[in-house]
Chain A
Amino acid sequence: YFYVFIFKKIFWLKTKQPRERRWEATEVKEAATVDAAADIQGTSAPETVVPSSVPQPKDDFQEELVIRPLHSGDIYASFQFRTLWDTDFMRENKVSHYRLFPKSLGQVISKFSVRELHISFTQGYWRTMQWGQPFIPSPPGAELWVWFQDSVTDVDATWKELTNVLSGIFCASLNFIDSTNTVQPSASFKPLGLGNVTDHSFLRYATLPREIVCTENLTPWKKLLPCGSKAGLAVLLKSEKLFHSSFHSQAVHIRSVCQDWQCKTTSWELRQTLNSVFDLHNSGQTKREWSLFKMFSRTLTEACPLASSSKLYIDITDNPQGEQFELSPATSLLSQAVVLGDRRTFSVYDLTQETTFGTVRSLNLLIRWKSNEGEMLRPLLHAERYVAGYGLQTGEIHTLMYNNHPYRSFPVLLLDSVPWYLRLYIHTLSVTSKGKDNKPSYIHYEPSKDRVKPHLLEMLIQLPPNSVTEVTVQFERALLKWTEYPPDPNHGFYVGSSVISSLVPSTVAMHTNSTRERPLFSSFFPCKEESSYFVRIYTEPLLVNLPTPDFSMPYNVICLTCTVVAVGYGSLYNLLTRSFQIEEPNPGLAKRIANVIRRMRGVPPL
């Protein structure tokens, strides 16, 4: 890193020429430019107040916030901002003009020929069993998956460059994504937008489970919003409160979507999402009471003027008569949406209406719990993972998948990407459910290559109803070269989350029409059939200890071997160069004593 620093320093010195910014008034030579320009246009259009027939802008911005009180007393807040733009990034040599869509992302799309891009930064782990399913799932750390256009010739080089650019845009260490943590899943990550691509050689998927998410990632993320954090729902995004929560996840999803149900025209969709779970105990409150001001230390005063819709949803499904919690100010506006296989009821606050803000011109929503009874529906699918075994040589990864549906079995796709330094013994792979062997109907396995690529294991497994399916595989820990260890190697090495994607049977009919006007939170995953809905679940990341050397060892080894060599060499040298001569044998002790006595007596010695 030191070298990189030096390099940057030199670069900085070379590029930043000493200059003071001088400002000069621009003198416009009327004759030279304006007239010449006017000549071309004939008559210059005068500035006008545009009448009502304003040309329909080709882009559209929506914002929404969903608040779901959780049974544990925590609060789940999910922001979604969507920019739709009817444009074509792939046209050659196009001058691009941005209005609501952020320029930096547009340039990334057109330069790297991106078909679809999903990036998420998450701090904390989503506890499915306590909190239910999130609207948009994400693994701890950073996750990036990108579908490239099929015009890209060198996908790996483009991917490398793209990760570097994205790490600059989001101030994250995405530049640590290289071939050792990138995989090409064959089935788990299908494009969420348009285009029925099957050639997964244009897909790249990588996670950085160690990535820490903080303010420096939030600021560039907020900058992508048209209103920034100056107006609309984004004023609530204050980092000092957001990062004081038990779960925080921010994401950017770019894809192309249909504009109408016939899909005659397509447009690009940029979805910025931010999910947060505020912990009751963490905030040190005694009363079970939440308000916008308590959560975000801000209240809402206006919608973003650029947004075509700006709404606040409160999930009141579990509270139809107001027996569990109380909402103030109350709203009469109710909305129903089918989300994650469940029909939910929401109170809606429309921020574009003046009446929402009342007389105080500010909306501070208050949720006051009355009782903490009530049972949460158990999620139909959830999963967990751990490492078993002892010692530093071998171990075993266990992945448990729970199907809580009482009578339906359904298939799940399990994706595991394991770094090369855990050498999987794939022959020990076993899948058991209810004590019986469960043979996966599809296995895609790519073995790792040391220092080049990770293991990739994808399986399609049928989960029997009301069961636990256990996938185990043994591994051996590799010894790294001493320069390959990260700082603080005794902390352990992270292994990214397993990804479980599934079509879970739904209790209510899902909406298959993707273009119908729906709240943003229910329209992220496209739905193909009414009887099931798509769920993606991430397990915990693993922390594995590798045999770690003593890092002063190399120098010790050098010194020790040198000493051994020097001793061996010294005695050999001594033997070779010493001149030998025959020495009189030493007289015995008795003889010497006798000689001493004889000398004292003056007799010649023996």
Chain B
Amino acid sequence: MAITEVERRRGQLAALSIAAVVIIVGVPLWWRTTETYRAWLPVSQIKDLAKLQLHLSADVEVVFARGTVTPEQQKKVPLTQTQDEEHTVDGDLLMQFMILRSQNMKPARSFDSQTFFPEDTTLRYRYETKYRTATIMEEDALKKPTAAEADLSLHMLSESPCGSLVVYVIPESSSLLPEDVNVYIGQRRTALVRISAQMRVGKTLEQLLAQLEPQIKQVLQVMSFSHTDITVALSDRVRFRPGNKESIADSMRAFKSSPGYEITFSLLNPDPKSHQLHWDIEGAVQTYIQPLLTKLSPLANFSMDSQTLYYTMLGVTPRFDSSFEAYTLNADSLAHVINPVEARLGSNAASSNPVLNFLLYVPDIRHSPLYIHDHRKQEVPSNAFHSPRWGGIMVYNVNGFYGSETEFPVHVNINMAKVMGVFLAQLRLLLGVQSLSPPPGFLVAPCGSTGLADWELDRLMWSRSVENIATATTTITSLAQLLDQIGNIVINDNIAQQVSSAVTSLQLAMAELEVGNLGFALQYSKEAILASEKAFFDPSLLHLLYFPDDQKFAIYIPLFLPMCVPILLSMLKIVSEARQRRREKQAKKE
């Protein structure tokens, strides 16, 4: 009896120790060897990014020229005023306006009362307006005969940094502006505002400023960021309600922000037997396109090339319209026109940046002249069309060269000024340089040789930075969400590093926006977008994505089932025996 009891105990101990070995050594070993490697990600910071709070601030300097402020008003300047606007952009584009104002050098009032919108985008605009009187040199500059000259010499005096604005308030008596113009917007970052005499007489400075404000606000809307621009830039984050189609059209036209663009000019010559075309694309690009791209170089890298394609037929045969004595293409059929041509255009082999295509189509002799008609059956004067986010096409008729005894092929020298004028206009549209119509009373200086005013570049930079930030945050948050949901995905160190650097760049970009350093903000937002895309599209994320559970069980069961069943059974037996013994003991005690 004693021996069997000892044996039984030994057996129980053996079973217990085997179970202990399995639990202490086996399970961790199995866990460690089958674990997928997941590097640490800054999850909490990404969560913070999910509710995007953008603070945009711009420095505005309002300079009073002599004769616009009275001496007692002048005593109170310089002074600084901060103006805050807060918008919440949610899915339905509901805008909540809260204009709060804090006066006189005090820090901006904090928004304790602000409602908290989870998962939403909060926008806060701040204009730091500094008021001061003009220096002597500025006074001299403002005495120039024309506004353009004044603009230039003011620009020479002090170069205002990217994103900031200077508004000069000039008296009514000034001869700089024509009669019916109250506001002049220069080529750089300056504007001239004319103030009428009755506005200032016998009023305190506060009243004067209050009167000035609507005008300055209008100037800001034109020259700096406007709320519509920013919401359009946020279209990646915020879905539009299908009500306002026009704004979507505008936002769809421009290319998405990208670190680089490839611009390709293609000369389509479907009939090389009849036409020998010569286009001085090299010179034309240097003269017309390059200055604009040089100006835009802070936004993105541009590369240009051109090619000539022969025997490229349009997808639609143009119809002969006897009322015009010409062949016509309808706007509705243009989508089909381009498809066969696109196959020949070829993508850029050496980079993955978006391509902007500009096609110059010289119709063949049997379909010449060819005109494009718009939706209202009207002839398009430029004979050119563009497609959002794709490029433009221009039809160039050469039927003027056919004489009665012309010998074919005709050698044609293409007028590049005409062509490039159209392409330049299309390029501006596709890059998102809006040529908005100014409010009444405004005079916008024609953009000079560069084709782009400084403030237009600023506007573009504002919306591009916001767009980049929005895109990068969406990418990063969706990546984090994906990784969170699918546990099989391996997260390598390099991905974690990309994610962290994207998050850091995003935070930096937002901080720079808040301070008003537009150039840096754009730079950081570009870095953020690059890093986030790199992380998102890393092929290593997909290695173990597909690993079905049934296969896992098929491999585990032959080993685990025969090993675990005896252990479990003996554990059950031990437990039931122990319970029985306790019951017996209790029975004995009683």
Contact = CB atoms under 8 A, between A and B. Distances in A.
Interface of A: 2-4, 6-7, 11, 14, 19, 21-34, 36-41, 44-51, 54-55, 95-100, 102-105, 107-108, 110-112, 165, 168-169, 223, 226-228, 230-231, 302, 305-306, 555, 558-559, 562-563, 565-567, 569-570, 573-574, 576-582
Interface string B557-577: 011011100110010000000
A579 B382 contact: no
Contacts of A574: 566
A11 to B, nearest CB: 6
B382 A226 contact: no
Which among B331, B380, B389, B559 has the greatest number of chain A C-beta atoms within 10 A? B559
A26 B386 contact: yes
B239 interface: no
Nearest to A49: B401
A25 B11 contact: no
Given A22-B388, A107-B350, A2 B546 contact: yes
B282 A6 contact: no
Contact of A21 (B304, B335, B348): B335
9 contacts: A19-B388, A25-B385, A29-B435, A36-B446, A36-B448, A107-B349, A165-B349, A562-B562, A579-B8
Nearest to A35: B446
Contacts of B539: 3-4, 7
A55 B253 CA distance: 39
Contact of B425 (A7, A33, A95): A33
B384 A6 contact: no
A77 to B, nearest CB: 23
Contacts of B435: 29, 32
A107 B346 CA distance: 12
B113 interface: no
B560 to A, nearest CB: 9
A87 to B, nearest CB: 11
Interface string B396-418: 00001100000001111111111
B335 A23 contact: yes
A40 B449 contact: yes
A588 to B, nearest CB: 26
A6 B400 CA distance: 54
Given A32-B447, A228-B311, A44 B349 contact: no
Interface string B269-281: 0001100101001
Contacts of A36: 446-449, 451
Contact of B420 (A37, A112, A579): A37
B545 interface: yes
Given A26-B425, A26-B429, A95-B304, 14 more contacts: A3-B545, A26-B386, A32-B435, A40-B288, A45-B413, A47-B414, A107-B305, A228-B310, A305-B272, A305-B409, A306-B310, A562-B559, A577-B15, A577-B566
Contacts of A563: 558, 562
B567 to A, nearest CB: 8
A26 B447 contact: no
B350 A21 contact: no
Given A45-B417, A566-B558, A95 B282 contact: yes
Interface in B533-570: 536-537, 539, 542-543, 545-546, 554-555, 558-559, 561-563, 566-567, 570
A25 B372 contact: yes
A50 B407 CA distance: 13
A29 B414 CA distance: 21
B4 interface: yes
B425 A28 contact: yes
A45 B418 CA distance: 9
A202 to B, nearest CB: 19
Interface in B287-306: 287-288, 303-306
A47 B413 contact: yes
A358 to B, nearest CB: 19
A48 B380 contact: no
B344 A223 contact: yes
A31 B278 CA distance: 27
A27 B372 CA distance: 13
Interface in B476-519: none
Interface string B143-179: 0000000000000000000000000000000000000
Which among A26, A98, A102 has the greatest number of chain B C-beta atoms within 10 A? A26
Contact of A27 (B310, B382, B563): B382
A231 B449 CA distance: 43
Given A26-B382, A26-B386, A45-B417, A40 B287 contact: yes
B24 interface: no
Contacts of A169: 349
A577 B577 CA distance: 15
B409 A3 contact: no
B83 interface: no
A3 B585 CA distance: 64
Nearest to A565: B559
Contact of A230 (B306, B311, B351): B311
Given A40-B287, A558-B555, A559-B558, A24 B416 contact: no
A165 B392 CA distance: 27
B490 to A, nearest CB: 12
A44 B448 CA distance: 17
Contacts of B388: 19, 21-22, 24
B389 A19 contact: yes
B7 A581 contact: yes
Contacts of B385: 23-26
Nearest to B17: A576
B334 interface: yes
A579 B417 contact: no
Contacts of B8: 579
Contacts of B386: 23-24, 26
A510 B421 CA distance: 56
A47 B537 CA distance: 49
B559 A566 contact: yes
Interface string B521-541: 000000000000000110100
Given A23-B335, A27-B425, A47-B415, A7 B387 contact: no
A21 to B, nearest CB: 5
Contacts of B108: none
A302 to B, nearest CB: 8
Nearest to A562: B558
B520 interface: no
A95 B285 contact: yes
B417 A97 contact: no
Nearest to B311: A230
Contacts of B123: none
Interface in B444-478: 446-449, 451
A22 B278 CA distance: 31
Contact of B310 (A6, A47, A226): A226
The 8 closest A-B CB pairs, nearest first, are A566-B562, A44-B417, A562-B558, A34-B421, A111-B350, A579-B7, A50-B411, A230-B311
A108 B349 contact: yes
Contacts of B401: 49
A559 B252 CA distance: 58
B70 to A, nearest CB: 40
A22 B421 CA distance: 22
